[in-house]
Amino acid sequence: MAVNQYKIRKLLKQVLFAGLVLIIVIPVLFPLYFVLISSFKNMAQVYLMPPKLIRFQPILDNYIYIFKTQHYGTYITNSAIVAVASTALSLLLGVPAAYVIARYKMGKANTAILTARLLPNISILLPYYFIFSKLRMIDTFAVLIISHMVLSMPLIVWIMTGFFQDIPIELEEAAIVDGCSRQRCFKDIILPISTPGLVTCSTLSFLGSWNNFQFALILSGEKTRTLPVSLQYFVSGADIRWGRMLAATIVVIVPTIVLTMILQKYIVQGMTVGAVKG
């Protein structure tokens, strides 16, 4: 009897939990599903209420159009180069900085780095264009990577500082007493424990760069055009080409999912295997 009751309660709990997960997942998925199916419809069908969610005649015109007129392969490569490079460089510079900021309580340094995130984008853009055009760097990957690092680095430093502060200091102290250098200790002890934080930051930084529009609009050109800049191709003041725009949105999302997963896997693998949780 008691066992049965326990089983029922457990089942009930599971159902409740599944319900909770559904409540989280549906509001996310439904709009995206709507976008997905709308990208296979013409506008007359999109405006139709109630919407036909299943069993409609899909049309491929939008996809054919965007692949014919736009060089999506190139844009995806461009976006990937900029996003991966700016994330990697930001991690390289930012994570060690975050570590010492956390350990040595360098509040001022932290604020200084965060300042870049506080500046409104337009007030960064005009000066950057002035300077980088004088340096003949407009439409190069370097300028895009640098400008995206300005946004990524504060994010990484800021989030990682929080993480490092939460790691009990005793862990390192023991190692240092054993004669381990601080940098070894950082590499062998701190980084492996911080994998969740690192994965998070790099994902956020990667996506931030991937979706960055305004910097890419001003600083990129024909050769380095990234996806978000090409996305606004379908949106003009006068008319929005919904079908094409939505199809382009899908085309932008799919590689993001794949690349984010690859990136996460890579970072997790890059960490020392078998890290013990603190």
Partner 1 sequence: MKRRICLALAAALLGTSLAGCSGGTSGLPGDTTTAQEAKSTEAGNSSQAEDSSESSLAGTTIRVLSMTGQISDAIEAHLDEFEEETGITVNLELYGEAQLREKLTTEFLAGSSTIDAFLMSPLQDMAAYSNNGWIEPLGTYLEDPDFDWEDFSSAPMDQIIIQSTGEVGALPLYSSVQLMFYRKDVFEEKGVAVPADYEELLEVCEKTNDPANNFYSIACRGEKIALTSQFSPFLYGCGGAYFKDGVCAFHTEENIEAARFYGKLLGAYAPEGILTAGYSQMTQLFNAGQVAMCIDAIALYQTLIDPNESAFYDKVGVAPIPEGPAGRQSYKQVVWGSSIYSGSKNKEAAWEFMKFVAGKDIAADITPKGMPTFRASVWEDERVTSAMPEDYIAAYNEEISADTTNQYGLPRMTAVSEARDAMGEAIVYSIETKGEGAELESKMQEAAQKVDQLLKDAGEYGSDYPYSE
Partner 2 sequence: MKKIDTFINKHIKWVFSLPALIFMLAMIAVPITMTLVFSLNEWNLLMGTGMKFNWGKNYMDVLSGSEFWQSLAITVYYTTLATVAEMLLGIAIALVLNQNFRGKNVVKTIVLLPYMMAPIAVGLMWMLFYEPSSGLLNYIFTSVGLPRSAFVSAKQTVIPSIAAAETWQMTPMVVIVCLAGLSSLPLDPIEAAKVDGATPIQTFFQVTLPLMTQTLFSIGLLRFIDVFKSFDLIYAMTKGGPANASRTLNLFAYETAFSYYKFGTSSTMLMILFVIVLLLSVGVMKIQRKLVEYYGG
Where on the chain is the footprint of partner 1 (CB under 8 A)? 42-44, 47-48, 61, 69, 125-126, 129-130, 133-134, 136-140, 217-218, 221-223, 232-240, 243
Q: How many CB atoms lie within 10 A of CB 268?
A: 13
User: DSSP string of 178-197?
Assistant: TT--HHHHIIIIIHHHTHHH
Q: Tell me the helix, strand and coil percentages in the chain, rounded to 5.
A: 75, 0, 20
Alpha-carbon distances of 223 from 70, 71, 138, rounded to whole Å: 13, 11, 10
Stretch that binds partner 2, among 3-11, 60-68, 80-88, 118-126 (CB under 8 A): 118-126
**Using the rule CB under 8 A, which residue among 37, 76, 84, 153 binds partner 2?**
153
Nearest to partner 2 of 1, 118 (CB atom)? 118
Residue 149 binds which entry of partner 2, partner 1, none, with Cβ cut-offs from 5 to 8 Å by kind?
partner 2
Residue 221 binds which entry of partner 2, partner 1, none, with Cβ cut-offs from 5 to 8 Å by kind?
partner 1
Residue 233 binds which entry of partner 2, partner 1, none, with Cβ cut-offs from 5 to 8 Å by kind?
partner 1
Binding mask 240-269 for partner 2 (x = CB under 8 A): x-x--xx-xx--xx--xx--xx--------
216 membership: H or E segment, kind and range:
helix 214-219
159 touching partner 2, by CB under 8 A: yes
User: DSSP string of 33-69?
Assistant: HHHHHHTTS-HHHHH-SS---SS-----HHHHHHHHH
Tell me how far, at minimum, the Cβ of 147 lies from partner 1, in Å.
14
Tell me how far, at minimum, the Cβ of 31 lies from partner 1, in Å.
18
The span from the CA of 244 to the CA of 215, in Å, is: 23
Nearest to partner 1 of 65, 117 (CB atom)? 65
The span from the CA of 8 to the CA of 5, in Å, is: 5
φ and ψ of 240, to 5 deg: -100, 125
The span from the CA of 46 to the CA of 134, in Å, is: 47
Nearest to partner 1 of 94, 243 (CB atom)? 243
Tell me how far, at minimum, the Cβ of 4 lies from partner 2, in Å.
23
The span from the CA of 6 to the CA of 179, in Å, is: 53
Tell me how far, at minimum, the Cβ of 54 lies from partner 1, in Å.
20
Using a 10 angstrom Cβ sphere, with 0-12 exposed, 13-18 middle and 19 or more buried, the burial of residue 238 is exposed
Residue 76 binds which entry of partner 1, partner 2, none, with Cβ cut-offs from 5 to 8 Å by kind?
none
Nearest to partner 2 of 59, 114 (CB atom)? 114
Tell me how far, at minimum, the Cβ of 133 lies from partner 1, in Å.
4
207 touching partner 2, by CB under 8 A: yes
